[in-house]
Chains A and B, each alone.
Chain A
């Protein structure tokens, strides 16, 4: 009995092997050689995750302080996440960023601590940039390729620049704290704007 089933299994195996060989031979002469790899142009993983994390930080540091800011913040994060994980869409990421950006401005107008606001705004920009980078890399290089090092470098560079400019502004702000009129700060901001425009790469 047992020998019978064995031979049957052997026969089945053999026919499998023959089929496989025939398939290979057909591959050479017929329609398909080994198939091409799947090309995945979705946003790259590391930057996408970083973008959503940054978005959450931004939302948490601005949303909870105002009933008006909260939906904007959470909606913005959802928008960014949707534009990266659900379907690839740059406009969603940018729209989400705009919505997210409104949250600290509203919270600021209601008198939330400036440190938190700065953290929120920096995180918003980070989320925006990481999201852009994820989509960019996805389109040009693809999720199926090695991109982690490129993403890590970008994340650290932009994070550094973002927090450095926030720190600079914060420094000036604390030094000049007191009864400085808004006009002075406005002028300084305008000065920074014009000078930054004058700078060219």
Chain B
């Protein structure tokens, strides 16, 4: 085997390398050399089998890749939504006028984090889209609420609370930490997922309650794995 294909016409009767054969199959040989290979192939059944095998490999790769695309089109919801995501990103802050840093950040944003266009319509769809957009804030809120709850539980029963500094009214944060009731936790079953509501009751007339809604999407959990 020549290793990298021959250059220039071969002498009649000479055999060709596998590299020549591959170049012939790929149409990479000059016309005169391609004719010489074709003549040689006519008398070489083993070389013809090699050529046929190359063709089979090519067909396998092409057909497999096309079938995988067909399957993705049907099985991957994000496929159908691709244009709407592209359009949204193109028009974010005006087409072609995005600040470079923001444009770069947006350009790196992966498909799987943007499911807003594929969600249900109506009120619930609006809630879900809001949640997708504010996931970070909700997460921060949930962590803060969890930390506050943990602190309250660690401090034990809160029947009588001694506030340092006699006669001095505690500020709202102190009261929330030291005197609040444990939060109520409620589980939800929601469309394509599940949810939890943590409710922190107000501790007095001048206090206000808080609620944290945590929603987990089944789609996120069941995302398609590698092929």
Do A and B originate from a single complex?
Answer: no
Q: Which residues of A contact B (CB under 8 A)?
A: none
